[in-house]
Amino acid sequence: MTDFNTIIEAIDSSLNSMMPHSAAVLVECILAAVCAIGAYLVFAIIMIYMERKVCAAFQCRVGPDRVGKWGILQVFSDVFKMLIKEIIDIKNSDRILYNLAPFLVVMSSLITFSCLPFARGLQVLDFNIGIFFIMAASSFGILGILLAGWSSNNKFSMIGAIRSGGQMISYELSMGLSILTLVVLSGSMQISELVEDQTRGWFIFRGHIPAVIAFIMYIISGNAETNRAPFDLPEAESELTAGFHTEYSGMGFGLFYVAEFMNMFIIAGIASTIFLGGWAPFYISGLDGFNEAMCWIPGIVWFLGKTFFVIWLLMWIRWTFPRLRIDQVLVLEWKYMVPIGLLNLLIMTICVVMGWTF
Amino acid sequence: MMEVTFVEIEEFRSTMIHLHRKGMDFLREMIGMDWNEEGLGAIYILENSDTHECTEIAVRTTDRENPELPSVSDLWMVAEFYEREVFDFYGIRFTGHHDLRRLFLRKDWVGHPLRKDYDTSEEINPIRMESEPVEEFSREYDIKDDKELAEKVEKLKILHYDQYTVNIGPQHPATHGVLHFHLSLEGEEVRKVDIHCGYIHRGIEKLCESRTYPQTLAFTDRLDYLSAHQNRHALCMCIENAMGLEVTERVQYIRTIMDELQRIDSHLLMYSCMAMDMGAITGFIYGFREREKILDIMEEVTGGRLIQNYNVIGGVQADITPGFAQKVKEYCNDQKKRIREYYDVFVNNVIFTNRAKGVGVLTRNDAISFGATGGTGRASGWACDVRKRHPYAMYGKVDFKEIIHTGGDSYDRLLVRLEEIMQSIHIIEQLIDNIPEGDFRTKTKPIIKLPEGRFTASVEGSRGEFGVFIESRGDKTPYRMKFRPTGLPLIAAAHKIMKGCKIADLITIGASLDYVIPDIDR
């Protein structure tokens, strides 16, 4: 399996030999940022196209097929359309916050995105409390949504923002609990170590029952965190027209749109990292030939394969379920998910202490 | 021919109270009238909801300057809206009505357009370029001791300025048209609802008064466009009965089949839109997939997909096409299998059942008092199907079940519609193979004149009883033509059951009541 650490070290040493150390760090930072933003956009494009095609398949439709072969240029024409749209100034809106809000949302998802381990060594941010960092970074996206609703001077936006605040803060709890369950299993919070640990078996298999419960909880709360159906109350188009982003036009809306898709990618990426082994290949102890064959498949393929599988699961849910009501959303979280999550954490701790894991 | 009993104003109130006590609990229709020198007034058509016995009561006042009649809005809840409509169009003030505002027209409209002496000139009512001022106060008229009209002005409770008010509509995805809910919210909870209608009122009843009878037919498709066939059927039936014209058996068969196809079409749309309003877009597409097939069949037979102009006086516009029976049978077989999918993907979904069960409960008594017929009434346990109550066309001869649920909530309202689809298919299957030979259209004279008198006909539209009332003076144009809206009673009921629900419930209730705006705003 390729180790990207060697390539990155080679680039680092060659840059250091060409220029002073501080300049080399600067160049590396710029390179990393460009790569991250590039990958961010590429994945966003792939996912928007995928969403349209998957949705079409669920609804007995063809989906986009006019722009380019199989409609693959559809996303580009959409972006072009958004770019040429007028950016509308809202009367009595808080100009600064209104314009800042979409960037906050994108920033939070971009920072979280850079924590994802695409392959061994292919990761922008990696340090000993990586999991905490991911949770912290992803949660300040709520700020952007709240500000968007608050500053738009629109009652629908305001209701959407309040809903989203209540919903996302609640579901962060059960999301944190389900991630903690896996941290208990692995004993580490560093993302690279988490994945390295899974080269001898994915956590969802090693942690068996509590891990599966945690996975299901994670998928539910991840869905709620990304504001997608059945938890799309903040935008609930049939109730609040478009919720918190009603007043945004052009790229302001585009940024929210991209951020929503990338948040879904991040949720799926984290799920595949901590539950499904990230870039770690499928491993069955004892079958050495099989394991070796699996290792021939590059890590990045494993990671993206698992991530897109989880994304597909999320889309399946999105295009099947009706929307919940706000009181049902909160009842589900506080009466069911949190107690189950706490109990599950306890079960996992007992399993680990008693050595009942694989 | 309808026999109307005229009652003196002084005795009107006591007569109505007496009739209400005697079990006339369903106010089928209330028709505002202008009889020129004989005065202004209204005709009330009442029905006993158990025995289906009808009474027609009329009352009039000769005072054209300050006409006033006693209100009956405390006896029949729907009268609250009907009286507002009559006040709007005839300027009759109903004493005792606690919220007498205009229902359809703007607050600053001058005059009352359905009066015969109304001046239509544009100087009086120019096209106003500014937005309609929102009314802050409602009026109530009371009679003082000395017979002088006293005006009570009360502050409308919905518009306290310290409340968080939100406008759902007139431009909103979930109102299915230009309806306007003015809400006062407390958090997510709806405290008060005020409904504004009239954004697309076209004055069809006024227009009809200057059209010949065949010309009036074109308007019916544009009322409730999802029961275009039934509406037109009612008007044709009313005119044919008045003329004493018998239509052939073939026509009756074709009309019944087309009515039922239209009903399936409308119920599919109701299911689909409900799914979409609840956020289940896949369910929506499933419903529309089948609806498309009905529209194709209709297009082949009538040439239109939404506005079909199919029924005419004496028959139908064109004969059915040769492949019609085959296509309809194929469609029916397909639909019977597909309906299972709706239950699987949407109706039995736990999220949906939790959101719809117990939401927007309309009791049987309220349903009758509001006159909420159709699927809404039947979901509340009221057997209100015109096809069973007063059979017309082929309905007396076919076997079908009237679907009745007793929950009265949004969930039951959807179930009634879905089960009615199966009943409609059952009706079509009994008829489709036996369409008799014969003329598809009886020849009529080029100029149709109705004898003097009052005529009514009603059919079961897709969302309730659709009635036509014609008062004829023997001319080739009607003196007064009135359509019973199927949607206005639903809106009146919505007014009540929406109070205290959540915003999301408001959308659920709206979708389950299944109103169509052009039908409310005639």
| Residue B503 to residue A239, Cβ atoms within 8 A | yes
- Residue B470, helix vs strand vs coil: strand
Domain that holds residue B446: 204-486
| Least CB–CB distance from B172: residue in A241, A320, A325 | A241
pLDDT at B147: 58
pLDDT at B162: 67
* B250 within a domain of the structure (yes/no): yes
Q: Measured between beta carbons, which residues in chain A are less than 8 angstroms from residue B502?
A: 325-327
* B214 within a domain of the structure (yes/no): yes
| Least CB–CB distance from B349: residue in A58, A319, A321 | A321
Please tell me the distance in Å from A327's CA to the nearest CA on chain B.
Answer: 9
User: Can you give the CATH number for the domain in which B37 is found?
Assistant: 3.30.460.80
In a shared domain, residues B115 and B231: no
- Residue ranges of chain A with pLDDT lower than 70? 1-2
CB-based contacts of B317, cutoff 8 Å, min separation 6: B302, B309, B310, B311, B441
| Residue B502 to residue A241, Cβ atoms within 8 A | no
Indicate the residue type of B20. Answer: H
In a shared domain, residues B235 and B145: no
In a shared domain, residues B209 and B115: no
Number of domains in chain B: 2
B interface residues, A as partner, C-beta within 8 Å: 164, 166, 172-174, 185, 188, 275-283, 285-286, 289, 345-346, 349, 351-352, 354-355, 502-507
* A31 within a domain of the structure (yes/no): no
* B131 within a domain of the structure (yes/no): no
| Residue B351 to residue A239, Cβ atoms within 8 A | no
In a shared domain, residues B149 and B254: no
pLDDT at B146: 55
* A8 within a domain of the structure (yes/no): no
* A2 within a domain of the structure (yes/no): no
Please tell me the distance in Å from B22's CA to the nearest CA on chain A.
Answer: 44
What pTM was estimated for this model as a whole? 0.87
* A93 within a domain of the structure (yes/no): yes
Number of domains in chain A: 1
* A5 within a domain of the structure (yes/no): no
In a shared domain, residues B360 and B215: yes
Residue pLDDT tens, chain B, 522 long = 778 888 888 888 888 888 888 888 888 888 988 888 888 888 998 888 888 888 888 888 888 878 888 888 888 888 888 998 898 888 888 887 877 888 888 888 888 888 888 888 888 888 888 887 776 666 666 665 555 566 666 555 555 656 788 888 788 877 777 888 888 888 788 888 888 888 888 888 888 888 888 888 888 888 888 888 899 999 999 888 888 888 888 888 888 999 999 999 999 999 998 988 888 888 888 989 889 998 999 898 888 888 888 888 888 888 888 888 888 989 999 988 888 888 988 888 888 898 888 888 888 888 888 988 888 989 998 888 888 888 888 888 888 888 889 888 889 999 999 999 999 999 998 888 888 888 888 888 888 888 888 888 889 888 888 989 998 888 888 888 899 888 888 888 888 888 888 888 888 888 888 888 888 888
In a shared domain, residues B449 and B300: yes
In a shared domain, residues B369 and B245: yes
pLDDT at A342: 92
- For chain A, percent of residues with pLDDT exceeding 90: 5
A interface residues, B as partner, C-beta within 8 Å: 55, 58-61, 155-156, 159, 163, 229-230, 232-233, 236-241, 319-328
* A94 within a domain of the structure (yes/no): yes
pLDDT at B28: 87
Domain that holds residue A114: 41-354
In a shared domain, residues B80 and B214: no
CA–CA separation, B521 vs B203, rounded Å? 8
Nearest chain B residue to A58 by CA: give it.
B282
* A255 within a domain of the structure (yes/no): yes
* B129 within a domain of the structure (yes/no): no
SS3 of chain A: the string is CCCHHHHHHHHHHHHHHHCCHHHHHHHHHHHHHHHHHHHHHHHHHHHHHHHHHHHHHHCCCCCCCCCCHHHCCHHHHHHHHHHCCCCCCCCCCCHHHHHHHHHHHHHHHHHHHCCCCCECCECCCCCCCHHHHHHHHHHCHHHHHHHHHHHCCCHHHHHHHHHHHHHHHHHHHHHHHHHHHHHHHHCCCCHHHHHHHHHHCCHHHHCHHHHHHHHHHHHHHHHHHCCCCCCCCCCCHHHHCCHHHCCCCHHHHHHHHHHHHHHHHHHHHHHHHHCCCCCCCCCCCCCHHHHHHHHCCCHHHHHHHHHHHHHHHHHHHHCCCCCCCHHHHHHHHHHHHHHHHHHHHHHHHHHHHHCCCC
**Are B160 and B147 spatial neighbours (Cβ–Cβ below 8 Å)?**
no
* B252 within a domain of the structure (yes/no): yes
User: Can you give the CATH number for the domain in which B439 is found?
Assistant: 1.10.645.10
In a shared domain, residues B51 and B112: yes
Query: pLDDT tens, A107-135?
Result: 888 888 888 888 777 777 778 888 888 88
* A119 within a domain of the structure (yes/no): yes
The ipTM value here is 0.83
